A and B are shown apart, each in its own frame.
Chain A
Amino acid sequence: MSKVNSATFRDSLSVSLTVGAYGVAFGAAAVANGFSVLQSCLLSLLTFSGASQFAVVGVLGAGGTALSGIATASLLGIRNGLYGVIMAPRLKVKGLKRIVAAQITIDESTGVALGQEVRSPEAMRQGFWLTGFGVFVFWNLFTVAGALGAQAMGDIRAWGLDSAVPAAFLGLVWPRLKTNSDRALAIGCAVFAVAMTPILPAGLPIIATAFIAIAVGLRR
C-alpha cells in the first residue's frame, strides 16, 4: 500500500472508533440475552456484522429457536453480499486477500470506500481496508468490554440493559427511515410482530416481517 492519504486515514479512523464503540452495546446485549462472554466475542469475530449480531441475540433472547435466529440474522446479512458485488471489481483481489476482504465487507468499509472514490481509486481502496480493519479491531475490543461489564451487573434491569437493547435496535433502524412509506412499514411491522407474539412460536413474528418487506418492495 503506498502513502496513505491523510484525509482518508482520518475518515477511516473516526468511523472505526465511533462504530467500534457500539460493540459495548452488542456485548452487553448478548450477555443480557443469555449468551456467554465467549459466544458474544465469537459472534463479533466471526459474524462481524452489527445488525445480524444484534438480531440473533434478540431472537434467542425472546425465546426463539436457533433456526429462527440464524434466518433473521442471515436476511440482514444479505446486504453485505450486495456490498461485495460492488466492491469486488474495485478491489480486484484473489485467494486469501479475497477471503479477508469478504470478512470486512460491511456497511462502514463499503461506505467509506465509496466516499473516497472522488479522491482517487487508491484512496478508495485504502479507505476500504483501513475502515474494515479499524472497525474489526475496535468492534471486537468493545464487545469484550460490554460482555464482561454486563456479566458483572447481575440484575440487568437495574442497569437499564433491558431498554438499552431495543434502543440500540431503534438507533440502527432510525437512519434508514427516509420516507413516509419507510416509516409506515416500520410501524406496521412493529405492531404486527407484537400482536403475533402470543400466537406464533417465538422468533417467527420477527422473521415474518421480512415477507411484509418483500411484498411491499415487489409491489411498488
Chain B
Amino acid sequence: MNQYWIAVIGTSAIAFALKYSGHSVPEKWLSHPRIQRVNALIPIALLSALVAVQTFTEKTQLMIDQRLLGLSVAIVALLLKAPFPLVVISAAASSALLYRFG
C-alpha cells in the first residue's frame, strides 16, 4: 500500500474518531479557556504554513515563480472582500497567464 492510500485511510479514520469522541465526552472536560485558545490558534499556524510552503517551495528547494503572482492576486482579492471562488479563480488565472506567456 503506498503513502497516498495510507494517508487517505489514516486521515479518514482519525477524522471520524475525533468527531465521534466529541459526541461522547462530557462538555465540561474541554471547556478550559486555554484549550479553546490553543484550538483556535492551531488552524492559523498550520494553514499559514501550508500557504507558504505551497507557494515558495518545490520539493525541498526554495523557489520564486508564477505562484508568487497568484498568491499576491489572492491577497488583493481577499482585501477587497471577494468571495472564496473568485479568490481562487483570480489566483489561478493570473498564475496561468504568467506561466504561459511569461
Contact = CB atoms under 8 A, between A and B. Distances in A.
A43 B8 contact: yes
B66 to A, nearest CB: 7
Contact of A173 (B21, B27, B51): B51
Given A102-B19, A157-B96, A210-B42, A197 B57 contact: yes
Contacts of B38: 213-214, 217-218
Contact of B52 (A51, A77, A193): A193
Contact of A166 (B11, B25, B55, B84): B55
A83 B40 CA distance: 12
Given A79-B39, A105-B22, A159-B96, A74 B47 contact: no
B74 A176 contact: no
B18 A80 contact: yes
A13 interface: no
Interface of A: 18, 21-22, 25, 34-36, 39, 42-43, 46-49, 51-56, 58-63, 65-67, 69-70, 72-89, 98-99, 101-103, 105, 157-174, 176-177, 182, 185-187, 189-194, 197-198, 202, 205-207, 209-210, 212-214, 216-218, 220
Main DSSP-derived SS at the B contact region: helix
A209 B20 contact: no
Given A176-B43, A186-B48, A218-B34, A193 B23 contact: no
Which has the most chain B C-beta neighbours within 10 Å: A164, A173, A177? A164
A192 B59 CA distance: 16
Interface residues of B, number: 74
A23 to B, nearest CB: 11
User: Top 8 closest A-B pairs, CB basis?
Assistant: A84-B22, A163-B70, A160-B92, A163-B95, A167-B91, A217-B38, A160-B96, A81-B22
Nearest to B42: A213
A162 B67 contact: yes
Interface string B73-97: 1110010000111011101111111
A78 B46 CA distance: 13
A49 to B, nearest CB: 5
B27 A85 contact: yes
A185 B3 CA distance: 31
B34 A157 contact: no
Nearest to B74: A167
17 contacts: A56-B11, A70-B10, A79-B39, A80-B15, A80-B19, A85-B29, A102-B19, A157-B95, A163-B74, A163-B91, A167-B91, A167-B92, A186-B45, A189-B52, A194-B56, A194-B57, A213-B44
